[in-house]
Chain A
């Protein structure tokens, strides 16, 4: 099967997954115990108020009709009206999506650098103190919550040393890069903690293979053997792990946005939850799922570029 056919099949499968995603997000309101209208209104919920909100949210219509309205709205890019801001949800969410995507891309770039540098250092120095230090340091980073790690970076690098801004987003591209550095650093250290482990073991495994011995035997310098022969082969499984970790990255990014006051979808999500702004929460849940689905598609397709031997069957 060629790459084009594979991508077409994957897109077809993606439609099914998206269908499932909408069913799930839709069912959360309708099948979980509790009445969203009562939850939204809280203490103010009189019988009349709740009935009115049911009407407003369309919760009193038949389920299939409600689902149809929800999905057809999504397809047309309409996701209802925010209960708190009285604005179209799609505008509020979509205007913030690029900021969150920017943060994740920045994180991925930094994580790639950390993973390659520390993963290779650990693999080349297997068992020695460099390897052990990297292992312990990243174990610590992995087992602390990222919001706490971010706050500690603020304490030390922003408040004490005054190297970086405490919070915010900046006004132009250079400022964005500057303001988003600490949040991206927080997220990328945690992401690379997982990737380094994987790359290290893969590089060690690959260095034992015949073609590496051949490359050495014909007198290539260690650097060339490592960078051109070993890493390229070892990276494939690290890329897979990255795809699996992307969901955690998006979740982490949304939390980190609240720590560093970045106006992305994370900040909107958590303020909407405390305001019980249900349509916004639903929309962000769908948008983040779409992001994960897209990245996993990209990861699967990228295999054949990373390794020409990969065929899709």
Chain B
């Protein structure tokens, strides 16, 4: 961060008649942004606003069936993005689906992030048997394909949103633990930690007040990658029937429902995928932008 500020201030006097684009980038950097990050934030804001104001943006109830208007193609007079095999309005379902898919992305990452980061600090700082134990547990969990393990867990718990979160919670914390542990190892022997110990801070206080603020950054950056993964895997799970059950508007389930009608209505499967694409690109851009800043 300080490096960026320095290079900006150094570049300024020598490059007086800079190109418009360049000065725009520099102005962004001054307020802690870069073009990638800005593009991602703008895109995500649009998506979040759409999710919040879904009732205002949609002319139809997303789960209302109208059997007189099935398989309407996109741009038909009454339905902007057409209708599916039940005559449900696809635009309304996609917009309402935003709520659910963003929620899946958020909650699936929240608990793994908190648990993983705390465990990363604890294992990195304390070391010893706790660290060894976690290393072995991670070795075992990493042996499973992530998706298969979540699927196996959910096959015991049964389908549905709550169980999806439980499945994610059991395996999703690993990257955060590994990232934060690495950062903690690099931080634990720095002067300010020694100083804190010397003046008699308790171990929990050192871990939470002194180490945590210094090691949480990379994990936070990974949150956005994690959200993309969570949304994609959430959509995959509902595609195979383990997620929210119909007629709940969820993008993965919508894609699955249109599969039998590829010839009659390509738009039923195609359009929800673009919604996933937009959210995925928005979150990836934010993640990349934040990573570039560091």
Contact = CB atoms under 8 A, between A and B. Distances in A.
A36 interface: yes
Nearest to A255: B236
A303 B163 CA distance: 40
Contacts of B67: none
A273 B155 contact: yes
Nearest to A281: B155
B263 A145 contact: no
Interface stretch (B57-65, B193-201, B238-246): B238-246
Nearest to B258: A151
Contacts of B255: 145, 147-148, 151
B157 A34 contact: yes
Q: How big is chain B's contact interface, by range?
A: 35 or more
A18 B139 CA distance: 10
B52 interface: no
Contacts of B239: 145, 147, 255
A267 to B, nearest CB: 11
Contacts of A32: 153, 156-157
Contacts of A159: 262-263
A299 to B, nearest CB: 13
Contacts of B151: 269, 273, 281
Say whether chain A's binding surface is mostly helix, strand, loop, or mixed.
Answer: helix
Given A254-B148, A285-B149, A140 B277 contact: yes
A135 to B, nearest CB: 10
Interface string A241-275: 00000011111101100110000000001101110
Given A39-B158, A270-B240, A25 B266 contact: no
Contacts of B144: 21, 24, 247, 285, 288-289, 292
A155 B152 CA distance: 31
A126 to B, nearest CB: 16
Contacts of B280: 142-144
B13 interface: no
A16 B140 CA distance: 9
A248 B225 CA distance: 14
A24 B32 CA distance: 45
A23 B136 CA distance: 13
Interface stretch (B116-124, B203-211, B268-276): B268-276
Interface string A275-289: 010100110110011
B272 to A, nearest CB: 8
Contact of A145 (B143, B158, B232, B262): B232
Contacts of B283: 143
Contacts of B228: 143
Interface in B208-256: 228, 232, 235-236, 239-242, 252, 255
A281 B152 contact: yes
A24 B155 contact: no
A155 B270 contact: yes
Contact of A251 (B147, B276, B277, B281): B147
Contacts of A97: none
Nearest to B278: A143
B284 A248 contact: no
B146 interface: yes
Interface residues of A, number: 55
Contact of B148 (A16, A17, A152, A288): A288
A255 B266 contact: no
B141 interface: yes
Nearest to B141: A24
Interface in A21-65: 21, 23-25, 28-29, 32-34, 36, 39
B17 interface: no
Given A28-B153, A251-B147, A143 B277 contact: yes
A151 B281 CA distance: 20
Interface string A219-248: 000000000000000000000000000011
A170 interface: no
Given A24-B141, A25-B152, A148-B269, A16 B136 contact: yes
B128 interface: no
A142 B139 CA distance: 26
B145 interface: yes
Contact of B284 (A39, A143, A252, A276): A143
Nearest to A13: B139
A289 B148 CA distance: 9
Nearest to A160: B266
A143 B147 contact: no
A73 interface: no
A77 interface: no
B140 A24 contact: yes
A139 interface: yes
Contacts of A148: 235, 255, 269, 272-273, 276
A251 B263 contact: no
18 contacts: A13-B139, A20-B137, A21-B140, A32-B153, A144-B280, A145-B239, A145-B255, A145-B273, A148-B269, A152-B269, A152-B270, A154-B262, A247-B142, A254-B145, A270-B240, A274-B241, A281-B152, A288-B145
Given A143-B280, A247-B145, A285-B144, 12 more contacts: A18-B143, A20-B143, A33-B157, A151-B262, A151-B273, A247-B144, A252-B147, A254-B147, A255-B236, A255-B239, A289-B145, A293-B143
Q: Which 8 residue pairs are nearest across A and B when measured between Cβ atoms? A: A143-B280, A251-B147, A20-B140, A148-B273, A251-B145, A247-B145, A250-B145, A285-B152
